[in-house]
């Protein structure tokens, strides 16, 4: 890939401390059922408050990541990240003493600090020579971290201290991220062509970001209603948990596969091919398959979820060689992750979650149409088309 196609003169190598800071920033994405469910059990959050707190934190995380990419310079990184991590730790600690609306607001503030933390990892990936490889490593590491804590916290600190134990553990982990930040780089190299073409994203870049937003809305709209969907096909509660576990396990496999095979695959083939396969999975899941087949379909869904994510970075760099669009990837993914379940919640009934499937299908079709359109335009630009 030539510099015209977005290659940096001094690519940013994979940096362990920056990777760790990003993983810590996104731990809550996999721990919300544990933390928010525990707060509800403790009487500090209502059932409706669970959804509001989850949405507030992820929305704030996505917005902060996007604003940081647009406004913050990649200099003085150690100080900026250490302060963000300390703020994140303080918010997790302060959650011990609040409830209801104050708790929801505090989780939103927590998301703001996490967004700055994530900005650093997105910046490292966007500046790498092989962004799909670094992105694959990142999504795999964050999933493993979420899985590990989701399994350990209820069996360790939460046994004696309840949800307060989980919040204390998260605060301590955020403090370790602050220490890691001090060991990270002082700055990142500038993005290529940072002084060309102004600071505005092109319409094609916005189309690429919209496709990412819609893809994550499709994914999470199904994910949050996975257990009710399992019940509709006759699975028991235990079998529904097995389906979730299968999807989580295959997410790790998908991330590893993207890390290992990513450099040898064309992003356009992966994004369009996975979109078509996901349409087939949606159709099969909507047909009320028998239990074992349902679990298999959900496992395939989990694999494609993380397998596809690193290729979003490749697509955005091909669209915008300055890599400014790639810097907004985290924001697009997180905002889509929040909007999908929020919109789906308006379409489901107390016992019928079919509306979530319809919304997910609409988001997937729209995302696939945008990707096909973007790839078609890029195919006319021969130097860029070679990267896809």
- Residue-wise pLDDT tens digits, 191-201: 766 444 456 78
Among residues 66, 70, 105, 110, which one has the least CA distance to residue 87? 110
Specify which residues 187 forms β-bridges with. 75
Say yes or no to pLDDT of 386 above 70.
no
Is the model more confident about 81 or about 386?
A: 81
Mean pLDDT of the chain: 86
Does residue 376 have a pLDDT over 80?
yes
Q: What is the pLDDT of residues 267-313, one digit of tens each?
A: 889 999 999 999 999 999 988 888 889 999 999 999 999 899 989 98
Q: Say whether pLDDT at 82 is over 50.
A: yes
Which tens digit of pLDDT belongs to each residue from 84-140?
Answer: 999 999 999 999 999 989 999 999 999 999 999 999 999 999 888 888 888 889 988
Is 244's pLDDT higher than 80? Answer: no
Whether the per-residue pLDDT at 153 is higher than 60: the answer is yes
Please list, in sequence order, all residues whose beta carbon lies within 8 angstroms of the beta carbon of residue 218, skipping any fewer than 6 positions away.
278, 340, 360, 361, 363, 364, 367
Residue 60 has pLDDT above 50, yes or no: yes
- Give me the residues paired with residue 75 across strands: 187
Give the angle subtended at the CA of 214 by the CAs of 115 and 40, to the nearest 5°: 55
Cα distance between residue 232 and residue 360, in whole Å: 17
Going along the chain from its start, the domains and CATH numbers come out as: 3-182 (1.20.1250.20), 203-385 (1.20.1250.20)
Of the chain, the percentage scoring pLDDT greater than 90 comes to 45
Output the pLDDT for position 216.
93
CA dist., res. 50 & res. 56, Å (int): 10
């Amino acid at each position: 890939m030539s510099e015209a196609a977005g290659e940096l003169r001094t690519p940013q190598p994979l940096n362990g401390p920056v990777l760790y800071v990003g993983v810590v920033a996104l731990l809550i994405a996999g721990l919300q059922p544990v933390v928010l469910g525990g707060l509800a059990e403790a009487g500090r959050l209502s059932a409706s408050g669970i959804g509001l707190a989850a949405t507030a934190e992820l929305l704030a995380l996505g917005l902060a990541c996007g604003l940081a990419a647009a406004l913050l310079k990649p200099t003085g990184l150690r100080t900026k990240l250490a302060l963000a991590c300390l703020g994140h730790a303080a918010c997790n600690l302060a959650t011990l003493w609040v409830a209801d609306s104050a708790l929801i607001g505090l989780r939103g503030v927590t998301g703001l600090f996490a967004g700055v933390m994530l900005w650093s990892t997105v910046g490292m990936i966007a500046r790498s020579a092989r962004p799909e490889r670094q992105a694959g490593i990142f999504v795999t590491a964050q999933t493993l971290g979420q899985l590990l804590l989701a399994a350990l916290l209820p069996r360790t600190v939460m046994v004696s201290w309840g949800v307060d134990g989980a919040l204390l553990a998260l605060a301590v982990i955020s403090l370790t991220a602050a220490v890691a930040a001090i060991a990270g780089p002082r700055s990142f190299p500038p993005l290529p062509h940072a002084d060309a073409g102004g600071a505005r994203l092109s319409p094609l870049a916005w189309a690429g970001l919209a496709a990412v937003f819609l893809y994550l809305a499709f994914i999470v709209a199904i994910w949050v209603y996975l257990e009710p969907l399992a019940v509709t096909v006759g699975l028991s509660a235990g079998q529904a948990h097995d389906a979730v576990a299968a999807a989580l396990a295959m997410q790790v496999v998908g991330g590893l596969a993207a890390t290992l095979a990513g450099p040898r695959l064309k992003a356009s083939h992966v994004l369009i091919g996975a979109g078509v396969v996901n349409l087939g999975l949606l159709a099969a899941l909507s047909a009320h398959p028998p239990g074992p087949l349902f679990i298999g379909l959900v496992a395939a869904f989990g694999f494609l979820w993380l397998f596809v994510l690193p290729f979003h970075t490749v697509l955005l760099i091909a669209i915008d060689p300055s890599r400014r669009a790639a810097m907004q990837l985290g924001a697009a993914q997180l905002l889509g992750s929040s909007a999908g379940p929020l919109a789906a919640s308006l379409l489901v009934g107390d016992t019928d979650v079919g509306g979530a499937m319809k919304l997910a299908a609409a988001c997937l079709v729209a995302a696939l149409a945008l990707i096909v359109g973007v790839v078609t335009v890029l195919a006319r630009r021969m130097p860029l088309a070679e990267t896809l």
